[in-house]
Amino acid sequence: MSFVAQFKAQAKVMAGDLRHRKIIRTALRNYEIVRDQRKASFQDWQGARQLAAETKWEAVNHLDKHLIDFTSKLEARGTKVHWASTAAQAREIVLKIVQDKQAKSVIKSKAMTSEEIHLNDALEHAGLKVVESDLGELIVQLRKEAPYHIVFPSMHLTRDEISELFQRELGSAATNDPEELTMIARRALRKKYLTADIGITGANFAIAETGMISITENEGNARLTAALPKTMISLIGIEKILPQMADLALFLPMLATMGTGQQLTCYNTMYSGPRQPGESDGPEEWHVVLLDNHRTELLADAEQRDALHCIRCGACLNVCPIFRNVGGHTYGTTYSGPIGSVITPHLRGLQDWKHLSSASSLCGACTETCPVKIDLHHHLLHNRRNAAKQKPSFGEKTAFKLFAFAANRPGLWNFGKKMARVFQPLQGAVKGTAVDPAKAWTKTRDLPPLAQESFKDWWRKRK
Amino acid sequence: MSERENILGRIREALKVKAHVPGTHGESKGPPTFDPAISSPRKWLPKVGATMDEQLALFAKNAGDLKADFQLLKSEDEAREAIAAVRAKEKWQRVAAHSGNLTNAICPALNLPLLHTDKAYDVHALEACDAGISECDALIAQTGTVLVTNRSAGGRALSVLPPHHVVLARREQLIADLPAAFELLKQKYAANYPSMISFITGPSRTGDIERILVLGAHGPKKLTILCW
């Protein structure tokens, strides 16, 4: 099945799934309240957004310089930096490190970049045991599913489903208490931290000035992943750059506000190297893998370059009426919701993924909520335009040609209007059926009845 | 050519075309202005009172909202009493800490053998501890945050592996806001940053099951801050 057919089929099922709708509404209700409280606590949220947008503009529009600063600072303190143009190269780099260390087990904290390059499959294929340590990621990993949402991976599941899953996969006792379920995962993962050979993390920000990565989390799993295993690997998209460490004073609270409705998440941690002389713990080796994977193609599109400003807070997903109705898995992409619909055609092919640009009501809620002011809903239109320009649709082109032909000839137009008034009632009989010539459009839409008299006729009579 | 050169080359090629200024919908083509009047985050971030008392009150309120236990004490003696009280209440058997002026002054009140994490230590022994006791670099009023580094707070694991993290701090360590925290880090460490710097804001938590708050996901369930 093509990507578009799959999207349409699943969207149809999910949009009618009232249980799913209820779960998502419940999950987002509290988020909306606390997010708005946090936004209101800023002295001026709009000023903060503009400054954040301009800071990311500076970072992305001088990306070469910042990446050189970032990596030379890292290397000076003993970190090994790797560059990967493609997903395959990134997987090879990680596999090689893991094999050189003769590692058997890997513990991971949440990293969307690893979902993007399907790292877990590659590691498991090479015979390694991979454990996701973020609770939500662990839950979807045990279900052999992709994350449902970039910030809330298991948002689509109820506590009963999670309890059943834990009973089956972790052999735990039945309980539907979220606290007990969390403690089951805590106990199961404790041993893994202590025995894992490799810890893999992502990063939320990469600081050019000081050569640091910054990881935002709530659970402490990333802290442990970066403290206990002997080797640490961080997989980072090249666009994560921020020019200066002090920029975090703005970005950390903005990410927390929009991501989860917190002032700050529980742990925001900066790493600038492996264990340094005189330090008592931490990894002996740290590898930073910088991932391009089509990001430079998006960079080359100056019109949509600001999509690289994204800090992956997930706020645009949460406000999107399409996301809320069709759900995260329907997209079939690593990044879902409005930002996913904008960047996936760049990352994975415009023609295969152009249908996502139409999975939008163009209401603009995403653009309005975005903390770094990405012009999201306009970019959906840009993608539609680019797709049509690159590969025009014969049907659409013909339809518009016929329209132009008729609209330029008043006699023909007036005749058409009269005919339409006569035939519209007949259309009702075949509406949406196989014999309706406009079936694709009318199947789900009503055409309002044409007025019995046109404005032009009415005006003429009035004089 | 190395992949580094390939990627940098593609970036330089891409950046030959200028991007519009954010928030202008393509109407302005030049770079952002970076007006100093608007480019300090302090102008936009949540307000913090100017006096010490206001900042202490704000820290206490934030810590309460975060479900951290913040105890504002009068003296070192009171801190010793406070930590002994926590020990008795929670029946601590094993405790880890690092050497420092505050820890060295307070920890003897526990009357327990200490595992020291600022030298090579056994991670299994740390995992078996009931609490980790550390100093910090600063307390941040704006967000109720404890700022630690692996240099000032006994390594990377002490503040996150045991189920209870106890922070010892002096009142002078309270600072107003996040911009001040980054200024402090720069002043203190710019020549040689510790390899880990962490902003700890409340005890570990998760909302991954039906978005219901649960404390102690992987890090400590409890965070106690003793300040005098």
CATH number at residue B211: 3.40.50.10420
Give the model confidence (pLDDT) of A231-253 as tens digits: 999 999 999 999 999 999 999 99
Give the per-residue pLDDT at A382. Answer: 96
Domain count, chain B: 1
Smallest Cβ–Cβ distance between B218 and the set A48, A186, A265 belongs to: A186
Tell me if A202 is assigned to some domain: yes
Structural domain that includes position A442: 410-462
Whether B30 contacts chain A with CB within 8 A: no
The structure's pTM equals 0.94
Chain B neighbors of A139, CB-CB under 8 A: 208
Instruction: Give the mean model confidence (pLDDT) for residues A87-101.
Output: 97
Q: Which of A53-67, A449-463, B16-30 has the lowest mean pLDDT?
A: B16-30
Instruction: Give the mean model confidence (pLDDT) for residues A116-136.
Output: 96
Mutate to test the interface with B, among A34, A162, A296 (most CBs of B within 10 A): A296
Smallest Cβ–Cβ distance between B19 and the set A162, A290, A302 belongs to: A302
According to DSSP, the residues that pair with B148 across neighbouring strands are B198
Instruction: Give the mean model confidence (pLDDT) for residues A40-52.
Output: 95
- Domain match, A287 and A415 both: no
- CB contact under 8 Å between B46 and A54, yes or no, is no
For chain A, helix, strand, coil in percent to 5 are: 60, 10, 30
Smallest Cβ–Cβ distance between A85 and the set B3, B18, B154 belongs to: B3
Smallest Cβ–Cβ distance between A302 and the set B17, B23, B210 belongs to: B17
Reported as type and span, the H/E element at residue A427 is helix A410-430
The 3-class secondary structure across chain B, one letter per residue, is CCHHHHHHHHHHHHCCCCCCCCCCCCCCCCCCCCCCCCCCHHHCCCCCCCCHHHHHHHHHHHHHHCCCEEEECCCHHHHHHHHHHHHHHHCCCCEEECCCHHHHHHHHHHCCCEEECCCCCCHHHHHCCCEEEECCCEEECCCCEEEEECCCCCCCCCCCCCCEEEEEECHHHEECCHHHHHHHHHHHHCCCCCCEEEEECCCCEECCCCCCCEECCCCCCEEEEEEC
Tell me if A329 is assigned to some domain: no
Instruction: Give the mean model confidence (pLDDT) for residues B14-26.
Output: 82
Tell whether the model's pLDDT for residue A385 goes beyond 70.
Answer: yes
- Selection from A233, A202, A235, A226 nearest residue A110 by Cα: A202
Tell me if A52 is assigned to some domain: yes
Tell me if B84 is assigned to some domain: yes
For chain A, report the end-to-end CA distance as a whole number of angstroms: 60
Q: Which of residues 70-89 of A touch B (CB under 8 A)?
A: 77, 83-85, 89
* Percentage of chain A lying above the pLDDT 70 cut: 100
Distance from CA of B80 to the nearest CA of A (A): 27
From CA A123, how far away is CA A436, in angstroms rounded? 52
- For chains A and B, count residue pairs whose Cβ atoms are closer than 8 Å: 300
Give the per-residue pLDDT at B1. Answer: 65
Give the per-residue pLDDT at B27. Answer: 66
- CB contact under 8 Å between A178 and B209, yes or no, is yes
Whether A175 contacts chain B with CB within 8 A: no
Instruction: Give the mean model confidence (pLDDT) for residues A119-147.
Output: 96
Give the per-residue pLDDT at A433. Answer: 80
A242: domain CATH number? 3.40.50.10420
Tell me if B37 is assigned to some domain: no
Tell me if A386 is assigned to some domain: no
- Place A421 in a pLDDT band, splitting at 50, 70 and 90: confident
Q: Taking CA atoms, what residue in B is nearest to A42?
A: B46
From CA A385, how far away is CA A378, in angstroms rounded? 11
Whether A12 contacts chain B with CB within 8 A: no
Smallest Cβ–Cβ distance between B156 and the set A68, A77, A226 belongs to: A226
Distance from CA of A442 to the nearest CA of B (A): 34
According to DSSP, the residues that pair with B164 across neighbouring strands are B222
Tell me if A313 is assigned to some domain: no
Return the exposure string of A226-260: e unless at least 16 CB atoms fall within 10 Å of the residue's CB, then b.
bbbbbbbbbbbbbbbbbbbbbbbbbbbbbbbbbbb
- Place A463 in a pLDDT band, splitting at 50, 70 and 90: confident
Domain endpoint, select from A293, A317, A338: A293
Q: Which of A269-283, A326-340, A409-423 has the lowest mean pLDDT?
A: A409-423
Tell me if A30 is assigned to some domain: no
- CB contact under 8 Å between B45 and A135, yes or no, is no
From CA A126, how far away is CA A350, in angstroms rounded? 32
Whether B35 contacts chain A with CB within 8 A: no
From CA B133, how far away is CA B165, in angstroms rounded? 6
Tell whether the model's pLDDT for residue A447 goes beyond 90.
Answer: no
Average pLDDT, chain A: 95
Domain endpoint, select from A245, A262, A293: A293
Q: Which of A433-447, B82-96, B172-186, B195-209 has the lowest mean pLDDT?
A: A433-447
Q: Taking CA atoms, what residue in B is nearest to A297?
A: B14
Handedness of CA A82, A88, A94, A99 (dihedral sign): negative
Tell whether the model's pLDDT for residue A58 goes beyond 70.
Answer: yes
From CA A304, how far away is CA B50, in angstroms rounded? 42
Chain A neighbors of B27, CB-CB under 8 A: none
Mutate to test the interface with A, among B33, B44, B200 (most CBs of A within 10 A): B44
Whether B191 contacts chain A with CB within 8 A: no
Give the model confidence (pLDDT) of A202-219 as tens digits: 999 999 999 999 999 999
- Domain match, A59 and A190 both: yes
Tell whether the model's pLDDT for residue A1 goes beyond 90.
Answer: no
Domain endpoint, select from A293, A327, A343: A293
Mutate to test the interface with A, among B210, B213, B222, B223 (most CBs of A within 10 A): B210
From CA A195, how far away is CA A415, in angstroms rounded? 81
Whether B47 contacts chain A with CB within 8 A: yes
The answer to whether A59 touches A207, Cβ cutoff 8 Å, is no
Smallest Cβ–Cβ distance between A279 and the set B8, B23, B150 belongs to: B150
Give the per-residue pLDDT at B37. Answer: 67
Whether B125 contacts chain A with CB within 8 A: no
Structural domain that includes position B70: 49-227
Tell whether the model's pLDDT for residue A190 goes beyond 70.
Answer: yes
Q: Taking CA atoms, what residue in B is nearest to A252?
A: B178
Tell me if B129 is assigned to some domain: yes
Chain A neighbors of B217, CB-CB under 8 A: 135, 182, 185-186, 218-221
- Place B26 in a pLDDT band, splitting at 50, 70 and 90: low
- CB contact under 8 Å between B23 and A53, yes or no, is yes
Q: What is the ipTM of this complex?
A: 0.96
Tell me if A259 is assigned to some domain: yes
Measured from the Cβ of residue A149, the count of other Cβ atoms closer than 10 Å reads 23
Whether B184 contacts chain A with CB within 8 A: no
Q: Which of residues 67-106 of B touch A (CB under 8 A)?
A: none
Tell me if A159 is assigned to some domain: yes
Tell me if B123 is assigned to some domain: yes
According to DSSP, the residues that pair with B168 across neighbouring strands are B226
Instruction: Give the mean model confidence (pLDDT) for residues A351-373.
Output: 96
Domain count, chain A: 2
Instruction: Give the mean model confidence (pLDDT) for residues A134-155.
Output: 96
Tell whether the model's pLDDT for residue B31 goes beyond 80.
Answer: no
From CA B26, how far away is CA B19, in angstroms rounded? 8
